[in-house]
Amino acid sequence: MKDKVYLYDTTLRDGSQAEGVSYSLRDKVMIVERLDDFGIHFIEGGWPYGNLKDIELFEYFKKNKLKNSQLVAFGSTMHSSSMPGKDENLNSLLKAETEYITIFGKSWDLHVKEVLRIKLDENVRIISESIKYLAKRGRKVFYDAEHFFDGYKNNKQYALAAVRAALDAGAQLVVFCDTNGGTTTNEVDSILTDAVAELGIKEFGMHCHNDLGLAVSNSISCVGRGCTHIQGTINGIGERCGNADLVPIMGILQFKMGIALIPSKKIGDLTKLSYFVSEISNMIQKDNSPFIGRSAFAHKAGVHIDAVIKNPLAYEHIDPVLVGNKRRFLVSEQSGKSTLVDKAKELDYDLDKKSPKTIALHKALQLKEQKGYQFEAAEGSFKLLLHKTFKKYKSFFELQGFRVIIEKDDKDNLISEATIKLKVDGNFEHTAALGDGPVNALDNALRKALVKFYPVLSEMHLTDFKVRVLDAKSGTEAKVRVFIESQDKDESWVTIGVSENIIEACWQALVDSVEYKILKAKKSGRLK
| Range with lowest mean pLDDT among 20-34, 138-152, 382-396 | 382-396
User: What average pLDDT does the structure give for the chain?
Assistant: 91
Phi, psi dihedral angles at 518 (to 5 degrees): -65, -45
Tell which phi-psi region holds residue 106, choosing left (phi > 0), alpha (psi between -120 and 50) or beta.
beta
* Chain centre distance of CA 476: 39
Burial of residue 202, with CB atoms counted within 10 A of its CB: 0-12 exposed, 13-18 middle, 19 or more buried: exposed
Identify the CA nearest to 169 among candidates 130, 122, 128, 141: 128
Backbone torsions φ then ψ of 520, nearest 5 degrees: -65, -40
Closest CA to 279 of 486, 457, 441: 486
| Residue 66 falls inside a structural domain | yes
Q: Is residue 497 part of a domain?
A: no
Residue 470: predicted pLDDT: 80
Q: Say whether pLDDT at 301 is over 60.
A: no
Average pLDDT, stretch 50-66?
94
- Whether residue 150 is contained in a domain is answered as yes
254-271 pLDDT tens trace: 999 999 789 888 999 999
Rg of the chain, C-alpha, whole Å: 27
244 φ/ψ angles, rounded to the nearest 5 degrees: -60, 130
Query: Is 103 domain-assigned?
Result: yes
Q: Which among 20-24, 127-131, 464-468, 496-500 has the top mean pLDDT?
A: 127-131
- For 124-139, b/e burial (b = at least 16 CB within 10 A) is bbbbbbbbbbbbeeeb
Instruction: Note the pLDDT of residue 334.
Output: 53
Domain extent, residue 210, equals 6-262
Listed ranges 148-157, 256-265, 374-383, 472-481; the one with the highest mean pLDDT: 148-157
CB proximity list for 63: less than 8 A, separation 6 or greater: none
For residue 334, tell me if it sits in a domain: no
Q: Which residues contact 87 (CB under 8 A, 6 or more apart)?
A: 78, 79, 130, 133
Calculate mean pLDDT across residues 332-350. Answer: 67
66: pLDDT strictly greater than 80: yes
Stronger pLDDT, 515 or 329, i.e. the higher one = 515
Give a yes or no: residue 63 inside a domain: yes
Query: In the structure, what pLDDT confidence band is assigned to residue 337 with cuts at 50, 70 and 90?
Result: low
Determine, yes or no, domain membership for 232: yes
Residue 348: pLDDT over 90: no
* Number of structural domains found in the chain: 1
Q: Is the pLDDT of residue 527 over 90?
A: no
For 326, the 3-state DSSP assignment is coil
Domain CATH code at residue 80: 3.20.20.70
- pLDDT above 90 coverage of the chain, percent: 70
pLDDT for 460-513, tens place per residue? 998 888 888 887 666 667 789 999 999 998 888 999 999 999 999 999 999 999
**pLDDT of amino acid 341:** 75
Three-state secondary-structure class, residue 333? coil
Which spans in 264-371 are helix H? 264-267, 270-280, 303-310, 337-346, 356-370
Q: For position 472, what pLDDT does the model report?
A: 61
Higher per-residue confidence, 36 vs 478: 36
Helix, strand, coil content of the chain in percent (nearest 5): 45, 20, 35
**What is the separation, in whole angstroms, between the first and last Cα of the chain?**
44
- SS3 at position 478: coil
Residue 314 to residue 519: CA distance in whole angstroms: 33
- Residues 6 or more apart in contact with residue 1 via CB below 8 angstroms: 258, 259, 260
Kindly tell me if the per-residue pLDDT of 33 is higher than 50.
yes
Higher pLDDT, 401 or 2: 401
Is residue 400 within 8 Å of residue 421, measured between CB atoms? yes
Going by pLDDT thresholds of 50, 70 and 90, the confidence category of residue 333 is low
What pLDDT was estimated at residue 287? 87
pLDDT exceeds 70 at position 332: no
* 399 inside domain: no
* Percent of all residues in the chain with a pLDDT value above 70, rounded to a whole number: 95
**pTM (global) more than 0.85:** no
Name the more confident of 210 and 305: 210
Local structure of 10: helix, strand or coil: coil
Instruction: Find the range with the poorest average confidence among 174-178, 278-282, 335-339, 417-421.
Output: 335-339
Confidence of residue 1 (pLDDT cuts 50, 70, 90): very low
385-437: pLDDT as tens digits: 888 777 667 889 999 999 999 998 888 888 899 999 999 999 999 999 999 88
Name the residue among 204, 162, 153, 203 with its Cα closest to residue 182: 153
4: helix, coil or strand? strand
